Amino acid sequence: MAQGQSATDAAPPASGRAEAPRVLVCDARPVVRAGLSSVLQDAGLVAEGDFASALDLLDEHAPTVLVVGLRIDDPETFRVAASAKAARPDLKVLVVADGATVIDLREAVIAGVDSFLLTSAPTGELREAVSRTARGERIISPSIAMQLAGTWRQEPRESGASALSPRELEVLQLLAEGLTNQQVGVRLGLSGRTVKTHVQNLLIKLDVPDRTGAVARGFRLGLIR
């Protein structure tokens, strides 16, 4: 299937059966993207595309599950995941990775990823994971489950990059431009105390210790222009 091309929508479910997921596959690598799409062709695939087209495809096809590939040492996947979750909070995201480090898993949590599989997973396991992720379950490849112990957790509603408010995103952008709290307040017409509260919320939601960490994570997740 060509980049951005739609797939035939899945047939309506039989009466009494759960509605089939609507799946969007995104990956920067055409061969990997084609492989994932082939596996999911009969499991709810509605479209495929690269990372640059992801948000447009979300608007066009309104998928329930976004399946994205992750290359080692490539943060683009998490930027796409965070942006997609910010645009559509109800969207479920499943990452399929070549491998996973503890840092990758931590970034996945912050970006709002719901499920995490390895490319070595059987095709049937991937299809099942998509269906279960669409139902709100969190699916993790057994081979990386131990790495997740103490790292992956169910994030509270008020935490995670997808929970940032429009105002918090504005504050984060201005922090990235080097403005102090006072300067941010002047720019946005806010009191110093209000700006401080927004900054504290950013540190909690992005799980970082300071402003510098918030800006660094914001760039990594694509939250800063």
Condensed to tens digits (0 to 9), the pLDDT of residues 70-122 reads 887 677 888 889 889 888 989 999 999 987 776 677 778 888 899 999 888 89
Domain spans in the chain, listed from the N-terminal domain onward: 23-148, 164-220
Count CB-CB contacts under 10 A for residue 3. Answer: 15
Q: How many CB atoms lie within 10 A of CB 54?
A: 22
Select from 167, 177, 160, 163 the least CA-distant residue to 211.
Answer: 177
> Mean pLDDT across the stretch 134-143?
86
Q: What is the CA radius of gyration of the chain?
A: 18
Topology of the domain covering 164-220: Arc Repressor Mutant, subunit A (1.10.10)
For the question of whether the overall pTM of this predicted structure is more than 0.75, the answer is no
Please state, in angstroms and rounded to a whole number, the distance separating the CA atoms of residues 155 and 11: 34
Phi-psi region of 136 (alpha: psi -120 to 50; beta: other; left: phi over 0): left
**For residues 202 and 161, what is the distance between their CA atoms, to the nearest angstrom?**
9
**Structure tokens of 212?**
């510098």
At residue 10 the predicted structure's pLDDT band, cuts being 50, 70 and 90, is very low
Backbone φ, ψ for residue 198 (5° rounding): -60, -40
Residue 69: strand pairing partners = 96
Cβ pair 220, 75 in contact under 8 A: yes
pLDDT in tens, 32-64: 999 999 999 998 999 999 999 999 999 999 999
Termini Cα distance of the chain: 31
What confidence score (pLDDT) does residue 67 get? 97
Could you count the other beta carbons within 10 Å of the beta carbon of residue 97?
Answer: 23
Q: Domain spanning 23-148: which superfamily?
A: Response regulator (3.40.50.2300)
pLDDT on residue 123: 93
Nearest to 68 by CA among 91, 102, 90, 42: 91
Residue 155 pLDDT grade (very low, low, confident, very high; cuts 50, 70, 90): very low
The rounded distance, in Å, linking the Cα atoms of 43 and 38 is 10
